[in-house]
Amino acid sequence: MAIVKSKHAVISPQDLHSQCTMVIKRMLLDHSPKQVAEMMSEFLESHCKDARPDVELQEFITKFHKQHR
């Protein structure tokens, strides 16, 4: 499946998940762990407006681990 780059394209939730996963995998392959941490930190800081990004991320990780055990 090719990545749909239009912000206005309508795609299914499954395709959206697949595309996000592909983008993240590519980022992990192309950058060092330090660069990935910096990129993700900047992304979270710019997109988490209602709460602290570090708290949001830790809560997400905890919830994810509980759901996938």
Give the residue extent of every domain in the chain.
Answer: 33-69
Quote the CA–CA distance of 11 and 34 in Å, as a whole number: 32
pLDDT tens-place values along the chain, 69 residues long = 566 677 788 889 999 999 999 999 999 999 999 999 999 999 999 988 888 999 999 999 999 999 998
Task: Report pTM.
Answer: 0.73
**Residues 6 or more apart in contact with residue 44 via CB below 8 angstroms:** 53, 56, 57
